[in-house]
Amino acid sequence: MQSIPIKDVTEPELTTRFIRDQVSAPEQTSVERLLAGIRPWLPWVHLAMFLVFLAVLVVPVYLPESPEQATFLDDGRVLANYLLWGVWFPLVFFSVVVTGRSWCGFLCPMGAAAEAANRRGLQWATPAWIRWPGTPIISFVVITILGQTTGVRDHPEAALEVFGGTFVLAILVGWLWGRNKRVWCRHLCPIGLLLGVFARLGAVQLSPRMRKAGSDRLTEKTICPTYIDLPRKQAARHCIECLRCILPGHKAGLAVSFRRPGRELESIRHHQPDGWEVLFIFLGAGIALGGFLWLVLPFYDTWRQSVGTWFIEQGQYWIGEPGPAWLMSVHPERREVFRWLDFLMIAGTMVSVMVLSALILGLASLASASLARRFGGNCKTPQAMIQIGYSQAPVALMALMIGLATELFTPFLGLGMTHTQVNHVKVAMIVLGLLWSLWLAWKILGGLGVKRGRLVSILPTALGSTAMAAAWWIAVL
């Protein structure tokens, strides 16, 4: 799949007019001066975040086991787990809708460490297998499965392995490849593509002051650490908001403005729609969903028993042996020991749900695209399918926020809310994501030139969004 070049001569005018209408010149200048003033302090922020990151990951491994009734107010291990899954993940997801990938440029110690290593490293040319658009999808899938089989949300050793190992890998990649760039952030970070897709929903917009003709492209000849050709920038996906392109008082660089959340996806035809991104939305939401469904599916234990019995009948007794601790959860002191059977069943269930999710959402988008074409759509069906596929982003975002940020709702219980009331909050978030997805689908279809018949055209993708919301409802509620 390749990025779809969108030729629309009105887009520069629309962007310029939108910046002018939303933020006056003095306001733009003051915001940009503020951001430019923050830039020299970022290395110190990154250092502080590294120390916090190190403490949250390393210290809990050496603390005594937590009592069953321990809370984050009286136990170090529980506190670290809460900071990781109740503070860090929710803040990253919430911030991406407001400020885009500001986490990556402002706070993430991994990307900063990778770039620091790059300045002193070998600076080899980035190989083609890293630059392949499918690489970040594979990275996300592998880390998601590993996190599930090792119990990353329950065991501090697993959190140290997954996040600490990722940190070391980021530094190694930075030391080996690229020249004054963040190869890790652009191509390999497991959540980079996730945040990049959702950054398109963000309210902060960085746009060229003087736009050049042509679409987004990867280039070495830029100050941007993620290879963005700044004068041709159209999409928020790869922008980590490192602030190097903010040059107050100059015609060069990017201008800061504010937009309605989701505006970029509403007019995705002007912002470099990419089939690989849409494939990631379909696959990423599915693999994460599978990580929760195996815990609640009533027939999972039946499948597990049947598969285990078959292997034993074939004389394959290794299936009942515990695997290596780096690959699966082996914690007898906590009454949790995964065997090869558990590893294969969990990974198999996650991959199966991922494939099924991609098929359902893909077919739904294809059906809506075909109907849109029939009712006067102004682009070919494959291109329309990709654009409509972006409408699944909000429901996937809300679902991932509820699923991955497992400790987000702990304080609600501490404040006296019941589990039923907390579940109502989760339902409201899923419904909000679903409604937002339907709104995006409606706007995208309008952008495709569908007027008469838009209500009919939206039905398949609406059913896909509803199926995703319902599946997550089952998984987390």
Work out the percent of the chain whose per-residue pLDDT is above 90. 69
Give the tens place of pLDDT for each residue, 227-286: 999 999 999 999 999 999 998 877 788 999 899 999 999 999 999 999 999 999 999 989
**Which of 268, 283, 301 marks a domain boundary?**
268
Q: Which residue has the tokens 């959540």?
A: 191
Residues 377 and 434 in one domain: yes
On whether the pTM is more than 0.85, the answer is yes
Q: Note whether residue 3 is domain-resident.
A: no
Residues 238 and 262 in one domain: yes
Residues 191 and 161 in one domain: yes
Q: What are phi and psi of 206, to 5 degrees?
A: -110, 115
Q: What is the pLDDT of residue 28?
A: 62
Give the tens place of pLDDT for each residue, 316-339: 999 999 999 999 999 999 999 999
Residues 43 and 149 in one domain: yes
**Model confidence at 51: pLDDT above 80:** yes
Taking all residues of the chain, what is their mean pLDDT, rounded to a whole number?
89
**Which of 216, 240, 268 marks a domain boundary?**
268
Residues 264 and 395 in one domain: no
Quote the CA–CA distance of 294 and 307 in Å, as a whole number: 15
Residues 394 and 447 in one domain: yes
Residues 315 and 405 in one domain: yes
Structural domain for 358, as ranges: 273-476
Q: Note whether residue 83 is domain-resident.
A: yes
Q: Note whether residue 1 is domain-resident.
A: no
Q: What is the pLDDT of residue 439?
A: 97
Quote the CA–CA distance of 213 and 201 in Å, as a whole number: 24
Q: Note whether residue 5 is domain-resident.
A: no
Residues 111 and 251 in one domain: yes
Give the distance from CA 134 to its chain's centroid: 15
Please state the rounded mean pLDDT for residues 339-367: 96
- Residue 121 CB: number of other CB atoms within 10 A? 18
- Residue 345 CB: number of other CB atoms within 10 A? 20
Q: What is the pLDDT of residue 269?
A: 93
**Model confidence at 6: pLDDT above 50:** no
Quote the CA–CA distance of 390 and 372 in Å, as a whole number: 15
Q: What is the pLDDT of residue 308?
A: 96
Q: What is the pLDDT of residue 114?
A: 96
- Quote the DSSP letter at residue 145: H
Residues 278 and 255 in one domain: no
Q: What is the pLDDT of residue 27?
A: 55
Q: Which residue has the tokens 């469904």?
A: 293
- Residue 459 CB: number of other CB atoms within 10 A? 14
Residues 232 and 371 in one domain: no
Range ranked top by mean pLDDT from 26-40, 199-213, 429-443 = 429-443
Model confidence at 344, pLDDT cuts 50, 70, 90, reads very high
Secondary structure (DSSP) of 270-324: GS--BHHHHHHHHHHHHHHHHHHHHHH-TTHHHHHHHHHHHHHHTT-GGGGSB--
- Quote the DSSP letter at residue 146: H
Q: Note whether residue 111 is domain-resident.
A: yes
Could you tell me how many residues make up the chain? 477
Range list of H helices, 74-108: 76-82, 89-99, 102
**What domain count does the chain have?**
2
Contact present, 233 and 208 (Cβ < 8 Å):
yes
Q: Note whether residue 2 is domain-resident.
A: no
Residues 416 and 324 in one domain: yes
Quote the CA–CA distance of 271 and 234 in Å, as a whole number: 5
Residues 301 and 443 in one domain: yes
Q: What is the pLDDT of residue 421?
A: 87
Residue type, position 259, single letter: R
Q: Note whether residue 199 is domain-resident.
A: yes
Residue type, position 324, single letter: P
